[in-house]
Chains A and B, each alone.
Chain A
């Protein structure tokens, strides 16, 4: 018993000990995204808003060649890529895939140009069915956690008999296999490796270092404990309860929903949500078995289940709603984002599932109490519930591939390159949309060496809207670039940009061009 208590405490600690988690987002890049540098920098620094684990990081040079010799090192929020010094002129693409604290990969790419920009193509990495397998294994894992662990809990606490547990046993087996296979698949996905690298150590190691790895380990532990509980004997009730708690813990320790602030709310919510699903879905298969051989003995079982099921469903709905509101931020996101679409489909399926459950509870269960011959009707209805639940799992497993609207990383800044006779200026506008923007001016001579200026001014106008030139004084930052912060661009459209760089008291270099500012 003491061992069990210790195990439970340990599970709790793994689940909740990690600090503030959020979805990783790229905060800054050095050299700045879209910028032009005179010569290859020593390194490229990617800074994120949280500690990240580097996955696949590739540096593609101006000729489109992937430079494998670029060394990657990570410390805290920063990932540093040592740049080979023989890079040819042209646009360098750094594509990154890092693992955020919620265990999901965040991918993107940044560019900078050495000397002159060029149209460097990023070679695509074939997925090779990794995603499809991740999805399938995820469904298997859900089956194991909900139908398996939930089924065991039902058998021991509600049915008080472990007869006819073939299906939950099968689900447990599937779940354990799914969880074990998910681990290297996750690693393959993070590292951008093909399926053939399944048996190498890299994907296993990297996956086990992420929170998703932790979640999988908790899930495996929970399913094993449930398997032991199924053997009966003393402590089976406690064991099955611990396994059920493990389901909640596993879900609460990783994923978008669990790692969103305020975590004091989201983690307990997802924990209860998981518990509720396991209780409800776990009961379905054993109930179908019971209905196949209707006896008077099953009536108290049905009653016990129904009594608990009503508050459980209420908790499920409440926690689900809370989590959805936090993740979506707006109703429009329900249709506008992939995450929202998946949630919409799930909600529709759950609505049907709930209607079916209500029908069973209010009509078929009382009918069964009067006449045992109505059992086949209830059985069919519960079977339909099973199918729907499976559909929900399949849909929800797709969430793994979509960041929630809350976590969508801002796009790369708008950049223009103005080339003049004596100088060339690179202008970065972030976010590059109507509203408040920050400008970075990188001034270079015609030979791509830094242009020493005494002053720099930025002048903006939008002729199509009758906005006359507005002048802004730029400030020289410690990075050697000129900055104009918090510029109001009231409208989208083709803005005229003019930059004056005062080189000596009597000489200035002026370059101008147009930029297309996107709507807000």
Chain B
């Protein structure tokens, strides 16, 4: 097989792989503004239907409000933040750390979205990527979308189950 063929095949693999990840619909957001995080779940775990979606809320993300979803119950796991944040003049030091949708059933051949309204505090550094690790639990098996590339790591070392991320932009 020639080198060119290899390239074409591997390019094909990468593009399908990218679209098959659990990912955020909106890829960019302003640090210091509100952000509607829409998690796109394109498939189950190796064919098994999805029964639970757990999203970890990264530090610096506050005012978390999940959108209710028919057929699913939603829970928010609260806890203390590492830092203290200012939200419309109020000091906030604790809140949602994890959002969990459960009780539903999303077959492998269907697509669905899970939505959280958030506020990205200006403690987050612009021009970095903010990651929301997701654990997708299925009837059989678990997919963990939790890989966060090390800073400065080469693109080629990207894992096969990356955490959904959003690129942070400076305030205009």
Asked if B116 is at the interface (CB within 8 A of a chain A CB), the reply is no
Contact call A510/B135, Cβ cutoff below 8 A: no
Contact call B159/A505, Cβ cutoff below 8 A: no
**Nearest-CB distance from B45 to chain A (Å)?**
14
Asked if A507 is at the interface (CB within 8 A of a chain B CB), the reply is yes
Contact call A510/B147, Cβ cutoff below 8 A: yes
Report, as a range, how many residues of chain B touch the other chain. Answer: under 10
Interface residues of A in 416-438 (CB under 8 A from B): 421
Contact call B144/A502, Cβ cutoff below 8 A: yes
Which residues of A sit under 8 angstroms from B147, Cβ to Cβ? 508, 510
Which residues of B sit under 8 angstroms from A421, Cβ to Cβ? 150
**Majority DSSP secondary structure for residues of B touching A:** strand
Contact call B159/A507, Cβ cutoff below 8 A: no
Contact call B135/A506, Cβ cutoff below 8 A: yes
Contact call B159/A506, Cβ cutoff below 8 A: no
Which residues of B sit under 8 angstroms from A510, Cβ to Cβ? 147, 159
Per-residue contact bits, chain B 86-126, to A (CB 8 Å; 1 contact, 0 not): 00000000000000000000000000000000000000000
Which residues of A sit under 8 angstroms from B54, Cβ to Cβ? 505-506
Interface residues of A in 478-505 (CB under 8 A from B): 502, 505
The interface size of chain A toward B, counting residues with CB under 8 Å, comes to 7
**Nearest-CB distance from A472 to chain B (Å)?**
15
Which residues of A sit under 8 angstroms from B28, Cβ to Cβ? none
Which residues of A sit under 8 angstroms from B133, Cβ to Cβ? 506-507
**Nearest-CB distance from A518 to chain B (Å)?**
27
**Nearest-CB distance from A242 to chain B (Å)?**
76
Interface residues of B in 43-64 (CB under 8 A from A): 54, 56
Q: How far is the CA of A7 from the CA of B75 in the complex (A)?
A: 89
Q: How far is the CA of A294 from the CA of B56 in the complex (A)?
A: 107
Which residues of B sit under 8 angstroms from A502, Cβ to Cβ? 144
**Nearest-CB distance from A305 to chain B (Å)?**
77
Q: How far is the CA of A502 from the CA of B133 in the complex (A)?
A: 13
Asked if B146 is at the interface (CB within 8 A of a chain A CB), the reply is yes
Which residues of B sit under 8 angstroms from A507, Cβ to Cβ? 133, 146
Q: How far is the CA of A506 from the CA of B135 in the complex (A)?
A: 7
Per-residue contact bits, chain B 141-163, to A (CB 8 Å; 1 contact, 0 not): 00010110010000000010000
**CB closest chain-A residue, reference B148:** A507
**CB closest chain-A residue, reference B54:** A505
Per-residue contact bits, chain A 240-263, to B (CB 8 Å; 1 contact, 0 not): 000000000000000000000000
Q: How far is the CA of A83 from the CA of B49 in the complex (A)?
A: 54
Q: How far is the CA of A510 from the CA of B161 in the complex (A)?
A: 12
Which residues of A sit under 8 angstroms from B135, Cβ to Cβ? 505-506
Interface residues of A in 371-412 (CB under 8 A from B): none
Q: How far is the CA of A421 from the CA of B146 in the complex (A)?
A: 18
**Nearest-CB distance from B13 to chain A (Å)?**
10
Q: How far is the CA of A507 from the CA of B54 in the complex (A)?
A: 13
Per-residue contact bits, chain A 270-308, to B (CB 8 Å; 1 contact, 0 not): 000000000000000000000000000000000000000
Q: How far is the CA of A506 from the CA of B99 in the complex (A)?
A: 12
Which residues of B sit under 8 angstroms from A506, Cβ to Cβ? 54, 56, 133, 135, 144, 146
Q: How far is the CA of A421 from the CA of B153 in the complex (A)?
A: 13
Q: How far is the CA of A505 from the CA of B135 in the complex (A)?
A: 7
Q: How far is the CA of A15 from the CA of B144 in the complex (A)?
A: 65
Q: How far is the CA of A510 from the CA of B133 in the complex (A)?
A: 15
**Nearest-CB distance from A459 to chain B (Å)?**
9
**Nearest-CB distance from A49 to chain B (Å)?**
41
Which residues of A sit under 8 angstroms from B150, Cβ to Cβ? 421
**CB closest chain-B residue, reference A469:** B160
Per-residue contact bits, chain B 126-141, to A (CB 8 Å; 1 contact, 0 not): 0000000101000000
Interface residues of A in 226-245 (CB under 8 A from B): none
**CB closest chain-A residue, reference B137:** A505
**CB closest chain-A residue, reference B160:** A469
**Nearest-CB distance from B127 to chain A (Å)?**
22
Q: How far is the CA of A388 from the CA of B94 in the complex (A)?
A: 94
Which residues of B sit under 8 angstroms from A505, Cβ to Cβ? 54, 56, 135, 144, 146
Q: How far is the CA of A507 from the CA of B161 in the complex (A)?
A: 12
Which residues of B sit under 8 angstroms from A508, Cβ to Cβ? 144, 146-147
**Nearest-CB distance from B133 to chain A (Å)?**
4
For A502, A505, A506, the residue with the greatest tally of chain B CB atoms inside 10 Å of its CB is: A506
Interface residues of B in 12-58 (CB under 8 A from A): 54, 56
**Nearest-CB distance from B154 to chain A (Å)?**
12
**CB closest chain-A residue, reference B133:** A506
Q: A505-B146, A507-B146 are in contact. List 11 more A-B contacts (CB 8 A).
A: A421-B150, A502-B144, A505-B54, A505-B144, A506-B56, A506-B144, A506-B146, A508-B146, A508-B147, A510-B147, A510-B159
Interface residues of chain A, those whose CB is within 8 Å of chain B, are 421, 502, 505-508, 510
- A sample of 20 cross-chain residue pairs with beta-carbon separation below 8 angstroms, ordered by A number, consists of A421-B150, A502-B144, A505-B54, A505-B56, A505-B135, A505-B144, A505-B146, A506-B54, A506-B56, A506-B133, A506-B135, A506-B144, A506-B146, A507-B133, A507-B146, A508-B144, A508-B146, A508-B147, A510-B147, A510-B159
Query: Can you list the 4 inter-chain pairs with the closest CB atoms, starting with the nearest?
Result: A506-B133, A506-B56, A506-B146, A505-B135
